[in-house]
Structure 1
Amino acid sequence: MMQVPQRLYSLDELRLNGIEASSLLSPVDATLGSIERNLQLAAALGGLAAWNVLGFNPQQVLYFSLGLLFLWTLDSVSFDGGVGSLVLDTIGHTFSQKYHNRVVQHEAGHFLIAYLVGILPKGYTLTSLEALKKEGSLNVQAGTAFVDFEFVEEVNAGKVSATTLNRFSCIALAGVAAEYLLYGIAEGGLADINKLDMLLKSLAFTQKKADSQVRWSVLNTVLLLRRHELARAKLAEAMSMGKSVGTCIGIIEETIDDSDIQLQLG
């Protein structure tokens, strides 16, 4: 399958292909944001109710508030906000089907694009709780893991080939691209975009060169996902059921043509 020619695409050219970059590259998780605000409101109201019912004096309320502030600071410093993220993510998956579906589609995008460009997925998690159980760390977020030894070696050496960079860029943006295609806007994936941005900066890319890499990757990834919409949908369904990596790969291979597997980039 032919790839998109690699050059600097303007934002207007992306729009001609039905892509509004701002809706894809600036994700804001409105669902978790709303849950967090509601929790803060509930905590404040609960505190006031406890004050009235239990007769707490102002000093006791102050100590309680300081205790909560200490726990929040401890989480931020020691676990990089992992406890708070775990709580929000768990509530999101439990009470918001919209949030759960977004996460599934997001990870299916990563999984599918990785396989298409020749990077083998080795595992995936859809919730922070699942990631905690598998990895035993609060600092590990839900996501898709890959067999990416070559990429890690090149990054450590400070020399990333064009082919490797193209693959990484497309995989990194696949989650937000999948969300954009399905919902018109991406909410998750800010960490993915930040990782790509950090990589490009570490390679001393100019802003123009970085824009060129990102816009090409967005266009290439969106077109791939559009072409393989059926495979992505079946893959997302399998991942939502917790199917094994092998089963998920089998679904991809059964759904798309052999000529489309291991697309050569660069």
Structure 2
Amino acid sequence: MNRNSDEDLTLLAIAIFTLSMSVLIGPAIGLSPLIPTTLTAVLLGLYGIYASGWGGQGRSILMAWWQEASPQQRDRLLHHEAGHFLAAYLLGIKIVGYNLSPIAAAKQGQLGAIGVEVDVDRVMPDRLERYCTVWMAGIAAEEYIYQDAKGGAEDIRQLRNATAHLPNPELHQRWALLRARTLIAEHQEAYQALVLQMQQNATVENCYAAIDLTLSNKTI
């Protein structure tokens, strides 16, 4: 599921850090004055892409480089999305596909299409609780692995939109997070097996098979 946390601040920090370092250490290492100028032009151009949105996908395009270049970011993304995948599968919600590389998605013409995609065309009232659990499972997975969560703002937005007609959406969010935490804690082996499959960009069917194998071994 699409991530949308503190990425705007991350982009700003990257831009400021890059420009500051090029200006400060440039003269000391013989860096051409053209370099900071070029960087400024590039970053302004990227900001233009961000501001225009390209159909709402500008931020995802700008974050692509950061996510691809940072092993820590890639690892968090993997574990976050594996949480969504596992919860959806265990709760009987169809998984359409997943993509952990924003750059690969862009090459396929799917700008910003990153994460696990589940069938949300018909969120029936009797299945709303399951979808809420799936939406919160990414946060639950990050907390399970890292003791904190940096992604999930977009997941919370989806949950809040789906429960806006209910008396207390925040209560549904808290219960959904608790259910997601319980699912991941009770199926640790299946979760780790799924992470390994997704790390290798396995097909959805192979991910299903890895989960099923772990679950069957657990019952023996």
Tell me which interval the TM-score lies in, with the shorter structure as reference length: 0.7 to 0.9
Matched residue of 1:242: which SS? coil
**One-letter identity of the residue aligned with 2:117:** A
Inter-partner Cα distance in structure 2 for 1:185 and 1:233:
18
How high is the TM-score relative to the length of structure 1? 0.67
| 2:144 paired with 1:172 | no
Q: Name the residue aligned to 1:141.
A: 113
Distance 1:67 1:103, change over 3 A: closer
Q: Name the residue aligned to 1:190.
A: 153
Q: Name the residue aligned to 2:79.
A: 105
> Does the Cα contact within 8 Å between 1:238 and 1:248 map onto a contact in 2?
yes
Deviation at 1:47, TM superposition (A): 6.0
> Does the Cα contact within 8 Å between 1:36 and 1:88 map onto a contact in 2?
no
Match of 1:225 among 184, 195, 214: 184
Task: Give a deviation string over 1:188-214, Cα, whole Å, max 9, x none.
Answer: 11111111112222x2x23xx212211
Distance 1:67 1:92, change over 3 A: closer
Distance 1:220 1:80, change over 3 A: same
Task: Give a deviation string over 1:47-67, Cα, whole Å, max 9, x none.
Answer: 6759x9458xxxxx7xx9688
**One-letter identity of the residue aligned with 1:145:** E
Inter-partner Cα distance in structure 2 for 1:29 and 1:171:
21
Deviation at 1:43, TM superposition (A): 2.5
Task: Give a deviation string over 1:208-233, Cα, whole Å, max 9, x none.
Answer: x2122112211111111100011000
Task: Give a deviation string over 1:100-129, Cα, whole Å, max 9, x none.
Answer: 111111111101100111112121001211
> Does the Cα contact within 8 Å between 2:163 and 2:169 map onto a contact in 1?
yes
Distance 1:54 1:219, change over 3 A: closer
Deviation at 1:243, TM superposition (A): 0.5
Deviation at 1:28, TM superposition (A): 5.1
More off after superposition, 107-116 vs 140-149 = 140-149
Q: Name the residue aligned to 1:115.
A: 89
**One-letter identity of the residue aligned with 1:150:** R
Instruction: Determine what percentage of the aligned residue pairs are the same residue.
Output: 26
Inter-partner Cα distance in structure 2 for 1:70 and 1:247:
41
> Does the Cα contact within 8 Å between 1:90 and 1:127 map onto a contact in 2?
no
Q: Name the residue aligned to 1:253.
A: 212
Larger Rg: 1
Task: Give a deviation string over 1:155-175, Cα, whole Å, max 9, x none.
Answer: xxxxx41x2211110110010
| 2:56 paired with 1:93 | no
Q: Name the residue aligned to 1:42.
A: 18
Aligned positions, number? 209
Higher RCO structure, 1 or 2 (CA under 8 Å, sep 6+): 1
Match of 1:239 among 180, 186, 198: 198
Question: Could you say what the CA RMSD is over the residues aligned between the two structures, in angstroms?
Answer: 3.2
> Does the Cα contact within 8 Å between 1:126 and 1:143 map onto a contact in 2?
yes
Q: Name the residue aligned to 2:47.
A: 72
Distance 1:188 1:251, change over 3 A: same
**One-letter identity of the residue aligned with 1:180:** E
Q: Any stretches of 5+ residues in structure 1 without a counterpart?
A: 1-26, 56-60, 152-159, 261-266
How high is the TM-score relative to the length of structure 2? 0.80
Deviation at 1:69, TM superposition (A): 4.3
Inter-partner Cα distance in structure 2 for 1:253 and 1:122:
18
**One-letter identity of the residue aligned with 1:236:** V
| 2:163 paired with 1:200 | yes
